[in-house]
Amino acid sequence: MKHIAKIAAFTAIFLIINLIFCGFMPPDNGSSLDMWRSYHQKQSIDIAVIGSSLASCALPEEELAAATGETVALMATNAQSLDMSQIALETLLREHSPRYVILVMDLTNMTGKPYAKAQKAFLYAELQTDSWKDKPADLLRYMTSRDNFTGADSLNALFPWQSGSWPTDWPATIQQKWNAVLNRLPHRRGAAHAQPEDAAVINFDTVGAENTWNQNAHDFSAQHIEELTSMLQLCQENGTRLLLISAPKTTLDVVSYEMYFDDYAYFKQLAAQYGASYYDFNLAKPALFENKEPDYHKDFTHMNAAGGHAFSLSMAKFLAMLDAGQDVESLFETPSEYLAAVNYITNVYMTPEIHPDKILLLAGSYHGPSVQAEYEFWVKAPGESEYSRVSAYSTRSWTEYAAAEHGTYQFRVNARIVGSSVDFERYYECSVDF
C-alpha cells in the first residue's frame, strides 16, 4: 500500500506541476485562442469563414458582420493548415447550421507539411476553450493524427510547456498571457476576433522575388487533397452551402505562380463535383470588386485593413446576389482576360553572384504575357555617394561588373517595357559584400 500511495502522490505532484507549467509557459496560442473563445461565445452563426491569415485579413469578422447584417464566425487562424480547417468545420457543423461556410484557399496549404507550431497552438487553444467532456477526445485525436503519431509531438502534446525556447521564452509568454487576462476583463474588453488595424502598404520596389511560387513545393499532396475533399463531402452531407474562394492578392503573386490557372481549374472542378462552388476574386470584374494596388495589400498575398474593409463589402454584395439566385459567373474574368490586362511590369528582382574578379548581376521581372521587359544596371561602389550606370537598357537580363576593390557595393536594376521612354517602371536595389 505504501508503494501505491507513493506512486499516487508522485503522480498527483507531477500533474500539478505540469498544469502550472502549461498555464504560464509556452506555447502562446495567439490567434487560435482568440478564435476559439470568440466562436464559443456565439449562440448562432449565419456565416462562417475558415482558413489561414489570408482569410482573417480579407474578411475580418466585424467588417463582414456589419456589411451583411448577419452573425459571422471568423474561424481563421495564423498558418492554419487544412487539417485544422477540417477540425474547425467539423466543430461548426456539429454545433450550428450556418447558411454559408466560406473556405479561403491558401495554395501553401495544398503543398508540403503543416506548420507544427501552429498546429500545437490550435490544439491547446481548442483544449482551453472546450467543455471538459470534449477535451479527452480532442487530445487523443491530435496524439494519434497521421502527422504526429509516429513522432515526438504525439507524446509532447501532454507537455506543451516544453516547446519553444525555454526558459528564455517564459517572461514574454507570461506577460502575453497576463495581458490576455486583462483584455478579457469587462472594462477592457476588446473587439471580436478580427484582423488588427493594419495600415501597412506593400512597396513593389522592395518585394523582390518574394512570392508564393518561390516559397512553395508545387505539387499538391495526396493528404491535403483528401482533407479538402473531406470538407467538401461533409458540407454536402449536411446540406451546407460551401464557397471555396481565393481572396484578392497582388497581381505579382498571381502572374509569378507558374501553375496558377491550372490550380484554378482544379479547384473549380473539385468543388463542382461535391455541389460546392469555387470563386477566384482575383478574377473579379470591377463591378464586383476593384482590387486597388498597392492600397489594399500589406504584402504580396495578405490584404491590409483597407483591403479587408473593401472586400467585406464586396462579399456581402456577392452573398446577396447568390441568395437572389442571380448569375454570378459573369462577374468574373476568364484567365486569358485577366492576363491580357496585366500589360505592365509588376515588379523586378535581382540576384548577384560573386566571382573572384567580378560580380554577376542576374535580374528578372513579373508581368503579363504581352509584355517584354528591358533592364539597365547601376552601381554605387564603396565610398561613393551616387550611382553610376553599369549597362544601358537591353532585353538581356544580366550584366557583369568588374569589382576593383573590396568593400560593400550597392546595386540597382531598373525595368521598363520595351519601347517605353520612361526612366523606369520598377526598380530593385541590393547590397553585396565583395
Which tens digits make up the pLDDT trace of 53-66? Answer: 999 999 999 999 99
pLDDT at res. 33 = 84
Looking at residue 115, what is its pLDDT?
A: 81
* 297 Rama sector, left if φ>0, alpha if ψ -120 to 50, beta otherwise: beta
Residue 192 pLDDT exceeds 60: no
Say what the pLDDT of residue 190 is. Answer: 41
Tell me the sheet residues that pair with 102. Answer: 49, 243
Strand partners, 74: 49
Give the residue among 93, 91, 15, 85 at the shortest CA–CA distance from 50: 85
- What mean pLDDT comes out for the span 30-52? 92
* Eight-class DSSP state of 184: T
Backbone torsions φ then ψ of 216, nearest 5 degrees:
-105, 150
pLDDT of residue 64: 98
The three-point CA angle 162-133-154 to 5° equals 30
| pLDDT, mean of residues 175-195 | 53
For the cut 70, the answer to whether the pLDDT of residue 15 exceeds it is: no
Average pLDDT score over residue span 166-189: 58
* Residue 373: predicted pLDDT: 98
* pLDDT, tens only, 333-343: 999 999 999 99
* Cα separation, 434 vs 431, whole angstroms: 10
pLDDT at 351: 96
- pLDDT tens-digit readout, 210-241: 999 999 889 999 999 999 999 999 999 999 99
Element housing 237 (H / E): helix 222-238
CATH 3.20.20.70 holds for 2-337? no
pLDDT band at 208 (very low <50, low <70, confident <90, very high): very high
Categorize the per-residue pLDDT at 187 as very low, low, confident or very high, splitting at 50, 70 and 90: very low
- In this prediction the pTM is 0.83
pLDDT in tens, 272-314: 999 999 999 999 999 999 999 999 999 999 999 999 999 999 9
CA–CA distance, 259 with 238 (Å, rounded to integer):
33
Q: Residue 326's pLDDT band (boundaries 50, 70, 90)?
A: very high
138 φ, ψ (degrees, to nearest 5): -65, -40
Instruction: Report the mean per-residue pLDDT for the chain.
Output: 86
Residue type, 260: Y
Q: Where are the domains of the chain?
A: 2-337, 345-433
Cell numbers placing 424: 523606369
Q: How far is CA 158 from the centre of its chain?
A: 28
For residues 430 and 185, the model is more confident at 430
- Please tell me the predicted confidence (pLDDT) of residue 107: 94
pLDDT tens per residue across span 292-302: 999 999 999 99
For residues 124 and 138, the answer to whether their CB atoms sit within 8 Å is no
Span 388-392, average pLDDT: 97
For 345-433, CATH number out of 2.60.40.10, 3.40.50.720, 3.30.2130.10, 3.20.20.120 equals 2.60.40.10
The residue type at 334: T
* Nearest CA among 51, 112, 115, 58 for reference residue 87: 51
Strand-pair partners of 244: 103, 278
pLDDT confidence of residue 362? 98
φ, ψ of residue 406 to 5 degrees: the values are -80, 150
Higher pLDDT, residue 426 or 124: 426
pLDDT at res. 112: 84
pLDDT band at 189 (very low <50, low <70, confident <90, very high): very low
Could you tell me whether strands 345-354 and 359-367 are parallel, antiparallel, or unpaired per DSSP bridges? Answer: antiparallel
**What is the residue-wise DSSP string for 358-411?**
-EEEEEEEEE-TT--EEEEEEEE-TT-SS-EEEEEEES--EEEE---SSSEEEE
**What's the average model confidence in pLDDT over 257-278?**
97
Q: Tell me the one-letter amino acid at 187.
A: H
Residue of 94, 87, 76, 91 whose CA lies nearest to 141: 87
